[in-house]
Structure 1
Amino acid sequence: MTTGVSAFYDGISIFYGFDRVMDPALYKPLPDDWIVGVADIVESTKAIAEQRYKAVNMAGAAVIAAVTNALDGREFPFVFGGDGASFAVSPDDLDRASGALAATATWVKHDLDLVMRVALVPIKDIRAQGLDVRVARFGPSKNVSYAMFSGGGLGWAEAAMKRGEFTVAPASVGTYPDLSGLSCRFEEIPSTHGLILSVLVTAAAGADTSAFRSVIEDIIALVERSPNAGRPVPAGGPAMTWPPAGLGYEIRAGRGAKSLSRFRLWVTTRTLFVFVLMRFGISIGGFVPKTYVQQLVENSDFRKYDDSLRMILDCTPDLERALEQRLVAAASEGTVRYGLHRQDAAMMTCFTPSAIRSDHVHFIDGARGGYASAATALKAMSV
């Protein structure tokens, strides 16, 4: 049986070439009965100041993992925002998505010691504001696609959530989301070209649509001309060590109601086994380390559009200057607001339901504040 999600989302053609992301013809409006989910970490700036970057990213990625697993692995439109995530589901999947969100909020509180807001907003309420949510599918490789969003509706939904509207209450203590496949086994990814630059660009209030599109396309063109189009993940993949720095987070994500000591032993043993396979290139049971790493690099989610352009770039000093010059000029013209954040490394959070399939996803953020710090810089422009 074809569900509402697959009927709509599978019907959107995947486009290749990120320089096409501003083409409005690629975007399709959500069906009238769909629901938008939004989640973010309360006081993420404070958590980042306390150097809890990985915990914040793990929380944001957990939303996507929990909803994906609740939907039995079916594809649905989502976007990772660093300290949160947004997505859309059909009414057929509303109860499952709501349960996954509620359980994730509880897990984030009790296992990560963070507070997560979550909300589910009907698209009809968004359209009542004169806004919309339109979806496109960008393929960074032939293996996977990521949703891109336009129409202004996601921002309104997030603002409504922060006002306390459409809230999903956390589940009762002892309720666990299914976070199978969520991990963070790779080490930080140092810059090879100068610095890791977090980029966030959104339209200024009242900006001309065509002028904003032109700025975004200029920024993308500058990046496309840079080495590897700014991709922060090296061709050989990120470094691995054992035990991985993110071992504790993987244990918390997967243990559920299991005995902590027994599950810790199991995960520790499993990660050692995987490390040996990866370190020595040993293939087993359909898993080929070299192929997996190649797919990991190709599938990495380091640039996206959700009414704002978001990128994590391995950036040369020349590219950084060129980007900032273009953004300063556009901001002075009243076309954009933007935030940039500089750091020395990126980090990766992985969602791999099956290591022998090619559609594993890898969320990239800056390792010293990333998207959240870029958002803080953007907000400062409005003050």
Structure 2
Amino acid sequence: MNNDGLRSDFYSALPRITSFDDLCHASSFTAVPEDWMVGVSDVVNSTVEVANGRYKTVNMVGAAVISAQINAIGKRPFPFVFGGDGATFAIPPEQSQDAETALCAVQRWAQDAFDIGLRAGLVPVRDILAAGFKIGVARYQASDGADYAMFNGGGVSWAESGLKSGVYGFDPAPVGTVPDLTGLSCRWSPTQSKNGTILSLVLQPVGGVDDAQFTKVAGQAIALVQNLERGGHPVPESGPGTQWPPPGVTLEAHASKGIGSLGSNRLRILFETLIAWVLFRTGWTVAGFNARHYARVTGRNSDFRKYDDGLKMTLDCDPQTLSKLRELLEDAQSKGLVEHGLFEQDQAMMTCIVPSVMTDDHIHFIDGASGGYTQAAAMIKDRKRIQM
């Protein structure tokens, strides 16, 4: 992990890594400047919310954290990772007040709109380093139009533990505060597995394990899934499917509530999605918008695999590959190298941030449609409780 100095533009200057395999090497990551802040968030009782069928709402709240930061910070790139039931990001110190304001507003919105509690806070990188942890970041080029941040070093996990224990965190903004969630949407239909199961994989290093030992296991897991069609990408090359009305219309109406009433926003979204549905079905191009091109780019721009102090993947997986993955990870876990969770479901779903449908820089967060990452992480927690 090399250090690139204490520059506010340090993330903008990072090279884009084009091979996901290269992220198995610590040299691909650069230390986050020590005067920066790490934003962490987590839906309270997310496992219970998912069990109650609110997995799409949980995902929407997690993605809203990122959307609010993008709109608060402006056009300067910054690193962020979607985690299913929360999000992580890093910012320079001069942006900390705007970041805090946006986090507190999302907390209030989640509570008022969905009765969901959201923990959120900013953790100084200096605190992470003082605790004996590292935090590195890499910039992975998923497609020509989109790139995603990846974190390693254990620092994010330490910050999340501090958030959950109450060492760090903010109170929600006053009642009635609404975040700017412009661009946040969830209009695509869930994607059905073609190969057998949509697999949500969470792989974490055991505390004290050498980075090289963990990345070796992660690299073996990545190599296994390369045998799947398109590396297990759960979204077809032609893009995700559409239906009308879209399943997330009410959630998106809540996200845009700041610019109108819930009812009027819902009607607006229904009208927009009806036009889009016709364009997707017919292939017509209207006012320069090519719906089928947009759908293809959506698949390419999605984050179906990522590093977030561990490896996370949402895969369209066949039974043979799943069996080999399970064998690999159970063996590594028995040796005290990793903790893992593998959760199976029938569909994947997507939550999106779309600044404009006319450009190819829209980004799309993928998770399993029955709780995905939240359920896989819960398996790790349950296993640890049993062992205590």
1:258 to 260, 268, 272: 260
Instruction: Please give the per-residue CA displacement for 1:290-348, whole angstroms capped at 9, x wherever unaligned.
Output: 22112111111110001110000000000000100000110111111101101111101
- Which residue does the alignment assign to 1:7? 9
Cα distance in 2 between the residues matched to 1:363 and 1:18 = 17
- In the alignment, which residue of structure 2 is the partner of 1:222? 224
In the alignment, the residues of structure 2 paired with residue 282 and residue 56 of structure 1 have an alpha-carbon distance, to the nearest angstrom, of 34
Q: Within 2, Cα distance between the matches of 1:93 and 1:17?
A: 31
Give 1:93 deviation, angstroms. 1.1
Structure 2 CA distance for aligned equivalents of residues 97 and 378 of structure 1: 31
Structure 1 residue 331 and structure 2 residue 333: aligned?
yes
Aligned to 1:74: 76
Residue among 350, 353, 378 paired with 1:351: 353
Deviations 1:250-307, CA, capped at 9 Å, x for gaps: 1000011623332322222222222222222222333221221121111111100011
1:106 alignment counterpart: 108
Match of 2:3 in 1: none
Corresponding residue for 1:92? 94
Cα contact 1:6–1:74 (8 A) shared by 2: no
Aligned AA (1:15): I
Of 69-78 and 143-152, more deviation after overlay is shown by: 69-78
Unaligned runs of 5+ in 2: 1-5
| Amino acid in the other structure paired with 2:382 | A
1:56 paired to 2:67: no
Q: Is the 2:137–2:149 contact (alpha carbons within 8 Å) kept by the matching residues of 1?
A: yes
Alpha-carbon displacement from aligned partner over 1:212-231 (angstroms, at most 9, x marks no partner): 12111100000112111000
8 Å contact 2:137–2:152 — kept in the other structure? yes
For the Cα contact (< 8 Å) 1:176–1:257, is it kept in 2? no
- The one-letter code matched in structure 2 to 1:177 is P
1:6/1:75 contact within 8 Å kept = no
The AA in structure 2 aligned to 1:215 is V
CA gap of 1:134–1:101, structure 2 versus 1, over 3 A, is same
Q: Which residue of 2 aligns with 1:34?
A: 36
1:166, distance to aligned residue in structure 2 (A): 2.1
In structure 2, how many angstroms separate the alpha carbons of the residues matched to 1:266 and 1:109?
Answer: 24
What's the TM-score once normalised by structure 2's chain length? 0.95
> Which letter does structure 2 place at the counterpart of 1:357?
T
SS at match of 2:285: coil
Rounded to whole Å, the distance in 2 between the matches of 1:18 and 1:122 is 28
The answer (yes or no) to whether the contact 1:188–1:346 under 8 Å persists in 2 is yes
Once structures 1 and 2 are overlaid, which stretch shifts more, 106-115 or 77-86?
106-115
Alpha-carbon distance between aligned partners in 2 of 1:337 and 1:112, rounded to the nearest angstrom: 32
- Following the alignment from structure 1 to structure 2, what is the Cα–Cα distance between the partners of residues 6 and 209? 27
Match 2:270 to one of 268, 271, 293? 268
Distance in structure 2 (CA, Å) of the matches to 1:345 and 1:202: 24
Taking a change above 3 Å as real, the CA distance of residues 364 and 5 of structure 1, as seen in their structure-2 partners, is farther
Q: How far apart are residue 64 of structure 1 and its match?
A: 0.5
C-alpha distance in 2 between matches for 1:141 and 1:355: 16
Deviations 1:112-144 (A, max 9, x none): 221100011111111110112111011111211
Instruction: Report 1:129-168 matches (<5 A).
Output: 129-168=131-170
Partner residue of 1:18 out of 6, 17, 20: 20
Judge conservation of contact 2:18–2:142 (CA < 8 Å) in 1.
Answer: yes
Aligned residues: 380
In structure 1, which of residues 343, 353, 363 is the aligned counterpart of residue 365 of structure 2? 363
With 317-326 and 259-268 compared, the bigger mean Cα shift is at: 259-268
Alpha-carbon deviation of 1:73? Answer: 3.5
Is the CA contact (8 Å cut-off) linking 2:345 and 2:368 kept in structure 1?
A: yes
Does the 8 Å contact 2:185/2:352 carry over to 1?
yes
SS at match of 1:241: coil
Name the amino acid aligned to 1:232: P
Equivalent position of 1:378 in the other structure: 380
Q: Deviations over 1:12-46 (max 9, x none)?
A: 10001111112111111111211000001000011
Distance, in Å, in 1 between the alignment partners of 2:264 and 2:292 is 31
Q: Secondary structure at the match of 1:338?
A: strand
CA distance in 2, matches of 1:188, 1:6: 38
1:171 is matched with 173
Q: CA deviation at 1:170?
A: 0.7
8 Å contact from structure 2 (residues 16, 139) kept in 1: yes
What is the SS of the residue equivalent to 1:243?
coil
SS of structure 1 residue aligned to 2:9 = helix
Whichever residue aligns with residue 173 of structure 1, its letter is: V
In 1, Cα distance between equivalents of 2:32 and 2:59: 27
Question: Which residue of structure 2 lines up, in the alignment, with residue 299 of structure 1?
Answer: 301
Residue identity opposite 1:348 in structure 2: M
Instruction: Indicate the residue corresponding to 1:116 in structure 2.
Output: 118
Q: What amino acid maps onto 1:229 in structure 2? A: G
Q: CA deviation at 1:6?
A: 6.2
**Cα pair 2:12 2:76 within 8 Å, conserved:** no
Question: TM-score of the superposition, structure 1-length normalised?
Answer: 0.96
Residue number in structure 2 paired with 1:202: 204
